[in-house]
Structure 1
Amino acid sequence: MSNLLQSLTTELRRGTLTLAVLSQLRTPQYGYSLVQRLETSGITIEQSTLYPLLRRLEKQELVTSSWDTSDTRPRKYYVLSEFGIEILSELKREWEKTTHELDQLMKGSEE
C-alpha cells in the first residue's frame, strides 16, 4: 500500500474507531477484552491507540471506569455513562445517514 493510501486509510479509520469502541461499551469491558471484541468484528486497534482513546472518552464523560480487584490481576473496566448512551445513539444515526449519503455518491460515480 502506498504511503498516501495508508495515510488516508488511517485518517478514515480514526473517526470510526470512536464509534466502534463506544458501541462495545454497553456492557463493562476492560482493555484487552475490548481489543478482542473489536478484532472479532474485523476492527484492529492497537493498545497504544485504545487506552488514550478510553481516557479521552472518560474525560468527555462518555464512559465511566472502575477497578475490579477481585481477581489476582486488577482490571479497569469501562462502560458507557448515561450521557455516553445518548451520544452513541446520536452518533449511530449520524453514521447511518453519512454512510447512506456516501453510498449514493459512490454509486453515482460508478455510472
Structure 2
Amino acid sequence: MDSRELLANFITELNRGTLTLCVLSQLTTPQYGYSLLQILSEKHIALEANTLYPMLRRLETQGVLESSWNTSENRPRKFYQLTEEGKTIFTALTNKWKEQQSHIEALLGEESHA
C-alpha cells in the first residue's frame, strides 16, 4: 500500500464519525436528501449521495431521525428530521466532539512545541 492510499484510508476512518455529526447538525429542521447534500457542500463538507442516503436510512432505523413525505409539489420528497431522542443524542455527541477536539488540539500543540 503506498502512502497516498494509506492516507486516503486514514481520512476515510476520520470522516466516518464526523460526517454523521455533520448530518445531524443540519436536521434540526426538516431536510430532504438533495437539499442536505447542497447545504453540506456549501459549508465545505464533502459527502456523496451514496454515503448520505444509507446513513439517513440507518439513523431512521435507529430512532435518531424520523421521516415524512411531502407530496404537495410535483416531485414527492422524503424529509428527515431529528426525533426527540435524536436531539438528545446530537447534543451529547456535540459535547463529546468538543471535548475530544480540545484534547486533540492540546496534543497537537504539544507536538508543534517539541
TM-score (structure 2 length as normaliser): 0.95
Task: Please identify runs of 4+ aligned residues in structure 1 that moved more than 3 A.
Answer: none
Unpaired runs of 5+ residues, structure 1, are: none
1:24-59 alpha-carbon deviations (Å, 9 max, x no partner): 000000000000010111001100000000001001
- In the alignment, structure 2 segments of 5+ residues that lack a partner are none
Question: Which position in structure 2 is the counterpart of 1:70?
Answer: 72
Q: CA RMSD in A?
A: 0.8
CA apart distance, 1:71: 0.6
Deviation for aligned residue 1:79: 0.3
**1:38 maps to what in 2?**
40
Q: Secondary structure at the match of 2:15?
A: helix
Whole-angstrom CA distance in 1 between matches of 2:76 and 2:102: 42
Summarize the alignment of residues 16-55 of structure 1 with structure 2, pairs less than 5 Å apart: 16-55=18-57
What residue is the counterpart of 1:59 in the other structure? 61
Give the SS at the match of 2:67: strand
Matches of 1:3 and 1:77, distance apart in 2: 36
Rounded to whole Å, the distance in 2 between the matches of 1:17 and 1:2 is: 21
What's the TM-score, normalizing by structure 1?
0.98
Q: Within 5 Å, give how 1:93-108 maps onto structure 2.
A: 93-108=95-110
* 1:108 alignment partner AA: E
Q: CA shift at 1:81, angstroms?
A: 0.3
Give the secondary structure class of the aligned counterpart of 1:11: helix
Show CA shifts across 1:66-100 (max 9, x none).
Answer: 00011110000000000000000000000000000
Identity value in percent: 50
Alignment-derived partner of residue 93 in structure 2: 91
